[in-house]
């Protein structure tokens, strides 16, 4: 698949699922310059704050609402290597190497005029303090990277190192919330459940097989670094928590954001989007993309799928008030805006299109038996908008629709379906007002997943068609 990405990159275009489009929201031009963007945060008025590695914070706005920023204000400068920003209670919080700075714009001119270091003395070394997020509890959560890789001559691990810390919005009561994260770049709270998710990057050693991780963060959780990684890799894994998804080794899993708004198709709601920066080896097949993660439901595994390819080095992302996804490409020094313009379910990449699995309960039946089927809707998170239909295909192409189609109520649901086979003919109702006799013989059984209210017979309404067969004995 990477040749698609390479071709797209050569044209300066992103490769997206059908129904999506991307435009350049901002890059250096007459309005000002953008250099090595690291982090994004929207304010309530649609202004986009952008942190730069060089220590500036920019405020971009799209005053004529055409999807491209036309105004740049330098909100702040002089921070040291900023890799995380967040807005809370009218203030902008920014990471600066070893500290957290709180900035306010008191006079509303778009430039910070009040500045306070609220946390300082954080450990730095190979990595530093990165992403910032505020929880439903109003407290500040902050990623602190490790000072070493974990594979080199071991440094003493300092108390706040390789952790997620928590503090009040004033920087007081600083404490370790979770530990064992080698280099957490970003973190985000689930908009509904309030659960905290964070990325973590495995060690840099080539061919070590150490994956990048998405972790569900719980209080006092230990996520394994330096000895344990992935799902039980390394050593000393006892008592540590595995990731809920592993991501491509050395791809550098960085910014993450939950989808918000209603612009993206229903199947994308409350999915996590993660920017994979790319390998520091320069291998073009690693990372350089945004992936979409569907969080696991009970007993399932998280599903990871490519969403957007063709970046240089995507680093952070955020959903805007317009429901578009904004991606800061550190390498291309560009902020992209990705929007959904297609209709219905067209935006679903093939791997995530709704599908139906059909299993016949038995290979043979006699008249009067109960035909048992199992149907499973996959990837159909818009399940409430979909109806399954089951039909028996007769010789000559007529078909019998089995009665009482039911709706799926959630993703991955398995529904058993039972229908009494007619004891005599011609008792069954056939579509198009025909009637038919079920002679002994082999029948095809077809299940169709269609949009609610749409005619399932029309191919344009069929999102998934599955077949199996059974034999009706004399």
Order of strands, edge to edge, in the sheet holding 175-179? 129-134, 140-144, 163-167, 175-179
Return the number of the residue (212 or 345) whose C-beta is nearest Ca ion: 212
Q: In the complex, what is the shortest distance from the CB of residue 319 to Ca ion, in angstroms, rounded to a whole number?
A: 11
DSSP-derived letter for residue 468 is E
Out of 10, 64, 238, 404, which residue is the one contacting Ca ion (CB under 5 A)?
64
Contact 144, 161 (CB under 8 A): yes
CA 103 to chain centre: 30
Residue closer to Ca ion by CB (options 37, 255) is 255
Residues 180/222, Cβ–Cβ less than 8 Å = yes
Cβ 380 to Ca ion, closest distance in Å? 30
Min dist. Cβ of residue 396 to Ca ion (A)? 60
Does position 255 interact with Ca ion (CB under 5 A)? The reply is yes
**Shortest Cβ 171–Ca ion spacing (Å):** 20
Taking CB under 5 A as the binding criterion, the range among 104-112, 154-162, 307-315, 430-438 that sits at the site for Ca ion is 104-112
Of residues 254 and 387, the one with the C-beta less far from Ca ion: 254
CA–CA separation, 54 and 37 (whole Å): 9
Reference 73, options 92, 38, 48, 102; nearest CA is 48
Interface mask (CB under 5 A) for Ca ion, residues 210-229, using x and -?
-------------xx-----
Q: Which is nearer to Ca ion, 64 or 156 (CB)?
A: 64
Burial 162-178 (b: 16+ CB within 10 A, else e): bbbbbbeeebeebebbb
Part of the chain binding Ca ion (CB under 5 A), chosen from 204-212, 251-259, 331-339, 442-450: 251-259
Least distance in Å: CB of 10 to Ca ion?
A: 27
- 150 versus 456: smaller Cβ distance to Ca ion: 150
Asked if residue 307 lies in contact with residue 2, where contact means CB atoms within 8 angstroms, the answer is no
User: 27 vs 357, which CB is nearer to Ca ion?
Assistant: 27
Q: Which residues between 281 and 340 bind Ca ion (CB under 5 A)? A: 316
Closest CA to 49 of 30, 76, 9: 76
Structure tokens at 140: 């500040």
User: Under the criterion CB under 5 A, does residue 66 sit at the interface with Ca ion?
Assistant: yes
Quote the CA–CA distance of 192 and 44 in Å, as a whole number. Answer: 19
Residues 281 and 206 sit within 8 Å (Cβ to Cβ): yes
Q: Decide whether 99 or 246 has the Cβ nearer to Ca ion.
A: 246
Tell whether residue 47 is a contact of Ca ion (CB under 5 A): no
Q: Which helix (H) or strand (E) holds 317?
A: strand 314-319
Task: Name the residue nearer to Ca ion (CB basis): 29 or 441.
Answer: 29
Residue 474, both tokens: 């004399």
Of 52, 62, 161, 466, the residue at the interface with Ca ion (CB under 5 A) is: 62
Applying CB under 5 A, the span of 66-74, 358-366, 435-443, 446-454 interacting with Ca ion comes to 66-74
User: How many residues make up the chain in this entry?
Assistant: 474
For Ca ion, the closer CB: 109 or 137: 109
Q: Name the segment binding Ca ion (CB under 5 A); options: 140-148, 254-262, 387-395, 459-467.
A: 254-262
- β-pairing, 175-179 vs 163-167, is antiparallel
Is position 238 an interface residue for Ca ion (rule: CB under 5 A)?
Answer: no
Count of residues of this chain found to bind Ca ion when the rule CB under 5 A is applied = 15
Pair of tokens at residue 398: 């007529």
- DSSP 8-state code for residue 12: T
Nearer to Ca ion, 105 or 329 (CB): 105
Q: Which residue is nearest to Ca ion (CB)?
A: 224
Helix (H) or strand (E) holding 10: helix 2-10
> Which of these segments, 21-29, 30-38, 253-261, 286-294, binds Ca ion (CB under 5 A)?
253-261
- 235 secondary structure, DSSP code: S
Candidate list 109, 152, 427, 439; residue touching Ca ion; CB under 5 A: 109
One character per residue 78-97, x = contact with Ca ion (rule: CB under 5 A): --------------------
Are the beta carbons of 129 and 122 closer than 8 angstroms? Answer: yes
CB of 460 to Ca ion, least distance (A): 36
Q: Which is nearer to Ca ion, 96 or 379 (CB)?
A: 96
For 371-425, the DSSP string reads EEEEEEEES-TTGGGEEEEEEEEPTTS-EEEPS------STT-EEEEEEEPPSST
By beta-carbon proximity to Ca ion, the closer residue of 232 and 368 is: 232
Rounded alpha-carbon distances, angstroms, from residue 381 to 267, 315, 376:
5, 28, 12
Q: Kindly identify the residues of this chain, within the stretch 153-192, that bind Ca ion according to CB under 5 A.
A: 186
Instruction: Decide: is 113 part of the binding site for Ca ion (CB under 5 A).
Output: yes
Binding residues among 339-358 for Ca ion as defined by CB under 5 A:
none
> Which residues sit at the interface with Ca ion, rule CB under 5 A?
62, 64, 66, 68, 70, 105, 107, 109, 111, 113, 186, 223-224, 255, 316
């Amino acid at each position: 698949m990477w040749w698609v990405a390479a071709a797209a990159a050569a044209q300066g275009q992103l490769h997206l699922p059908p129904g999506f489009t991307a435009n350049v929201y901002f890059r250096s031009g007459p309005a000002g310059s953008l250099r090595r963007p690291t982090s994004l945060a929207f304010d309530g008025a649609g202004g986009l704050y952008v942190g730069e590695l060089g220590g500036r914070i920019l405020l971009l706005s799209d005053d004529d609402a055409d999807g491209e920023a036309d105004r740049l204000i330098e909100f702040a400068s002089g921070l040291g290597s900023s890799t995380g920003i967040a807005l809370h209670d009218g203030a902008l919080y920014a990471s600066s190497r070893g500290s957290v700075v709180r900035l306010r714009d008191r006079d509303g001119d778009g430039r910070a005029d009040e500045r306070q270091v609220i946390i300082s003395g954080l450990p730095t070394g190979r990595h530093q303090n990165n992403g910032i997020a505020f929880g439903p509890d109003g407290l500040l959560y902050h990623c602190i990277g490790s000072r070493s890789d974990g594979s080199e001559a071991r440094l003493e691990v300092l108390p706040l190192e390789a952790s997620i810390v928590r503090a009040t919005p004033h920087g007081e009561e600083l404490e370790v919330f979770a530990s064992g994260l080698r280099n957490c770049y970003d973190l985000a709270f689930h908009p509904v459940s309030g659960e905290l998710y964070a990325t973590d990057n495995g060690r840099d050693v080539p061919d070590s097989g150490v994956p990048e991780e998405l972790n569900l963060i719980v209080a006092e959780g230990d996520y394994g670094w330096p000895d344990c990684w992935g799902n039980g890799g390394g050593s000393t894994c006892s008592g540590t928590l595995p990731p809920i998804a592993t991501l491509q080794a050395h791809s550098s899993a960085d910014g993450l954001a939950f989808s918000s708004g209603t612009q993206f198709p229903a199947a994308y709601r409350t999915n996590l989007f993660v920017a994979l920066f790319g390998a520091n080896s320069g291998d073009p097949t690693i990372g350089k993309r945004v992936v979409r993660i569907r969080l696991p439901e009970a007993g399932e595994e998280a599903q990871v799928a490519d969403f957007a390819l063709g970046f240089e080095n995507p680093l952070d992302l955020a959903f805007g008030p317009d429901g578009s996804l904004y991606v800061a490409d550190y390498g291309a020094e560009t902020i992209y805006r990705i929007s959904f313009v297609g209709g219905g379910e067209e935006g679903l990449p093939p791997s995530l299109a709704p599908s139906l699995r059909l299993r016949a309960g038995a290979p043979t039946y006699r008249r009067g038996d109960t035909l048992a089927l199992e149907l499973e809707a996959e990837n159909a998170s818009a399940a409430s908008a979909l109806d399954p239909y089951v039909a028996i295909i007769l010789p000559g192409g007529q078909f019998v629709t089995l009665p009482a189609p039911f709706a799926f109520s959630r993703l991955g649901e398995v529904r058993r379906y039972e229908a009494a086979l007619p004891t005599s003919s011609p008792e069954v109702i056939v579509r198009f007002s025909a009637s038919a006799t079920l002679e002994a013989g082999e029948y095809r059984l077809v299940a169709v997943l269609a949009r609610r209210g749409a005619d399932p017979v029309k191919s344009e309404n069929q999102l998934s068609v599955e077949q199996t067969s059974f034999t009706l004995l004399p």
